[in-house]
């Protein structure tokens, strides 16, 4: 992906995270505000209702002690003292007729709630009501109460002061929210950018590499140790592996080119010499024989490489047949007895019993044959080669191929399983440096491995470990 193809701003994760953060912040603030708003308004209403009830109680006591005229007088004085725009009262008959009231010029829009009177007549002591006067912005809380026989009190109180409190609360909330929302968006943006900063580095590195940059580029180490740092480390490890594979492929193709070049050059040389010198039919026959021999060597190398890639394709591509390791080793030994005898080497195969595992008989036999071939090849006259097998726990088997040959130097030891690698002392012997690579690829394909222990001049022991069933490992 090139940098030009980066997602549009509104599609970025940072933008969406910021939006989520700001959204959740706003929602939770609104819920908190609503909670406090309802708490405040209900506290205010309760307080107002308590005040109104206490006032009604006083009217009731006065009526029972001093009579209705004293109540009328007291009510007017109370209304004037509190402010005629703050409270008002009406004294009503049970039919709702007004027979006394405070100065109602400010409250003339407020009528009498028939339903409330009805409820009182039916036996309720007090009824509360809230009225909103459209031309005035605030509410009025009204109490209807029976204060004596046939006397109903309508007592109203303006909630203007309380409305101011709630209005101020709303205003403060809106301004604070607007400010906090901007701050929250900034904080959200900052946090999202911080959290995703490693992703940017990752994208930049991947983008450089994919647009032709060097495979040696790596995402800078992130000391935070979080998930993004882990992703970066994993990404770098993946790049290491890809780089190793690419280098391996390059090295291999160089080696293939080099190793194919020698026999082809030899074939060409033989043909050229034959053509440019005076030659008999026998010379031509010799040339043909040498050409066939070189071609066979080439074919052998190509076939071996094909088997290596077949084995490296992995367990899934292998045959999963029952293999008796003892029988396979015995068969391989049978093939090599004549060669060992010719070289004056004692070849011993000690494989009593059966050692059954799941795998590809043909490949396992080839792997053991390669090790036997090397053991005999790199052991001189009067030496010995021994093959043994034993169970390793209840899950695997170990096959040992031990020789008393030339051994492997510490310098060669780490490289002998590489393709086309040949140790210096082995140069005089035939070979193409693919035998051990193939053996190792086969062992790995079966979920196993090959180890080697060797001392120069004393001999080597190759140990193949194979699981009974590849899937068990
Ligand atoms: P080659 O065709 O050269 O035998 P291999 O891949 O089979 O290729 O082996 C790689 C190298 O490992 C050999 O060139 C040789 O140096 C060394 N080697 C392998 N097996 C033995 C052995 N049994 N004893 C001594 N050296 C060995």
Tell me the CA–centroid distance for residue 372 and ligand 1, in Å.
11
Closest ligand 1 atom, residue 407 Cα: 25
Taking the C-alpha atoms of residue 111 and residue 130, their distance in angstroms, rounded to an integer, is: 12
Q: Which of 383, 419, 422 has most ligand 1 atoms within 8 Å of CB, for mutation?
A: 422
Taking the C-alpha atoms of residue 61 and residue 53, their distance in angstroms, rounded to an integer, is: 12
Closest by CA position to 76, among listed 92, 62, 87: 87
- Spatial neighbors of 75 by CB under 8 A, at least 6 apart, are 59, 89, 91, 100, 102
Closest by CA position to 31, among listed 163, 173, 188: 173
User: Is the pLDDT at 159 greater than 90, yes or no?
Assistant: no
The Cβ of residue 282 has, within 10 Å, a number of other Cβ atoms equal to 8
pLDDT at 145: 93
Tell me the CA–centroid distance for residue 171 and ligand 1, in Å.
88
Distance of CA 278 to CAs 275, 282, 285, 288, 292, Å? 8, 12, 14, 16, 22
pLDDT in tens, 236-283: 999 999 998 888 888 878 878 887 888 889 889 988 888 888 778 888
pLDDT in tens, 198-213: 788 888 889 888 888 8
Q: Atom 16 (ligand 1): residue with closest C-alpha?
A: 423
pLDDT at 349: 93
Residues with CB under 6 A from ligand 1: 374-375, 378, 403, 405-408, 412, 416, 421-423, 426, 431-437, 460
Q: 451: part of which helix (H) or strand (E)?
A: strand 449-455
pLDDT confidence of 361, banded at 50, 70, 90?
A: very high
- Spatial neighbors of 454 by CB under 8 A, at least 6 apart, are 407, 408, 413, 460, 461
Taking the C-alpha atoms of residue 158 and residue 144, their distance in angstroms, rounded to an integer, is: 15
User: Which residue is it, tokens 């010799």?
Assistant: 286
Q: Atom 1 (ligand 1): residue with closest C-alpha?
A: 433
Phi, psi of 90 (to 5 degrees): -135, 145
pLDDT in tens, 391-400: 988 889 999 9
Q: Atom 14 (ligand 1): residue with closest C-alpha?
A: 422
Closest ligand 1 atom, residue 432 Cα: 2
pLDDT confidence of 473, banded at 50, 70, 90?
A: very low
pLDDT at 350: 87
User: Is the pLDDT at 5 greater than 60, yes or no?
Assistant: no
3-state secondary structure of 81: helix
pLDDT at 2: 47
> Is 166:37 a contact under the CB 8 Å cutoff?
yes
Q: Which of 423, 428, 450, 457 has most ligand 1 atoms within 8 Å of CB, for mutation?
A: 423
Q: What is the 3-state secondary structure (H, E, C) of 125-194?
A: CEEEEEEECCCCCCEEEEEEEEEECCEEEEEEEECHHHHHHHHHHHHHHHHHHHHHHHHHHHHHHHHHHH
Work out the mean pLDDT of the chain and round it to a whole number: 87
Strands 396-403 and 384-392: antiparallel
Q: In this structure, what DSSP letter does residue 221 have?
A: P
pTM beyond 0.95: the answer is no
> Is 463:452 a contact under the CB 8 Å cutoff?
yes
pLDDT in tens, 54-96: 989 998 998 889 888 888 888 888 888 888 888 999 999 988 8
Distance of CA 467 to CAs 288, 316, 328, 443, Å? 47, 15, 16, 10
Query: For the chain, what percent of residues have pLDDT higher than 90?
Result: 36
Taking the C-alpha atoms of residue 384 and residue 347, their distance in angstroms, rounded to an integer, is: 6
Closest by CA position to 90, among listed 104, 77, 109, 78: 104
pLDDT at 471: 60
pLDDT in tens, 107-154: 888 888 899 999 988 888 899 999 887 777 778 999 999 988 888 999
Q: 315: part of which helix (H) or strand (E)?
A: none
């Amino acid at each position: 992906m090139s940098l030009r193809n980066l997602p549009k701003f509104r599609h970025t994760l940072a933008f969406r995270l910021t939006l989520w953060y700001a959204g959740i912040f706003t929602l939770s603030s609104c819920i908190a505000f609503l909670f406090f708003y309802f708490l405040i308004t209900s506290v205010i209403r309760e307080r107002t209702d308590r005040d109104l009830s206490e006032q009604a109680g006083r009217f009731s006591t006065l009526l029972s002690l001093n009579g209705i005229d004293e109540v009328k007088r007291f009510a007017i004085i109370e209304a004037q003292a509190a402010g005629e725009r703050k409270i008002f009262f009406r004294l009503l008959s049970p039919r709702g007729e007004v027979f006394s009231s405070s100065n109602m010029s400010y409250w003339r829009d407020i009528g009498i709630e028939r339903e409330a009177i009805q409820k009182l007549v039916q036996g309720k002591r007090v009824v509360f009501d809230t009225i909103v006067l459209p031309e005035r912005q605030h509410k009025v809380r009204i109490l209807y109460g029976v204060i004596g026989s046939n006397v109903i009190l309508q007592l109203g109180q303006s909630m203007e002061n309380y409305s101011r409190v709630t209005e101020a609360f709303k205003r403060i909330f809106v301004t604070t929210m607007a400010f906090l929302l901007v701050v929250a968006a900034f904080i959200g943006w900052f946090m999202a950018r911080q959290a995703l900063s490693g992703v940017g580095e990752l994208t930049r590195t991947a983008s450089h590499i994919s647009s032709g940059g060097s495979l040696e580029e790596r995402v800078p180490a992130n000391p935070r140790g979080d998930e993004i740092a882990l992703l970066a480390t994993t990404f770098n490890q993946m790049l290491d592996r890809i780089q190793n594979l690419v280098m391996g492929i390059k090295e291999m193709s160089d080696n293939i080119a080099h190793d194919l070049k020698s026999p082809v050059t030899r074939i060409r040389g033989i043909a050229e010499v034959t053509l440019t010198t005076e030659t008999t039919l026998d010379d031509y026959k010799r040339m043909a024989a040498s050409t066939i021999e070189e071609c066979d060597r080439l074919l052998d190398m190509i076939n071996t490489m094909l088997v290596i890639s077949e084995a490296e394709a992995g367990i899934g591509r292998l045959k999963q047949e029952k293999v008796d390791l003892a029988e396979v080793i015995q068969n391989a030994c049978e093939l090599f007895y004549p060669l060992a005898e010719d070289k004056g080497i004692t070849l011993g195969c000690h494989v009593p019993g059966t050692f059954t595992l799941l795998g590809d008989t043909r490949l396992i036999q080839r792997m053991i044959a390669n090790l036997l071939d090397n053991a005999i090849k790199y052991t001189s006259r009067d030496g010995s080669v021994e093959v043994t097998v034993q169970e390793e726990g209840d899950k695997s088997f170990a096959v040992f191929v031990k020789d008393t040959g030339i051994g492997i130097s510490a310098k060669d030891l780490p490289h002998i399983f590489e393709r086309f690698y040949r140790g210096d002392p082995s140069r005089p012997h035939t070979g193409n440096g693919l035998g051990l690579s193939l053996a190792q690829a086969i062992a790995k394909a079966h979920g196993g491995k090959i180890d080697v222990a060797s001392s120069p001049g004393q001999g080597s022991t190759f140990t193949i470990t194979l699981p009974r069933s590849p899937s068990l490992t």
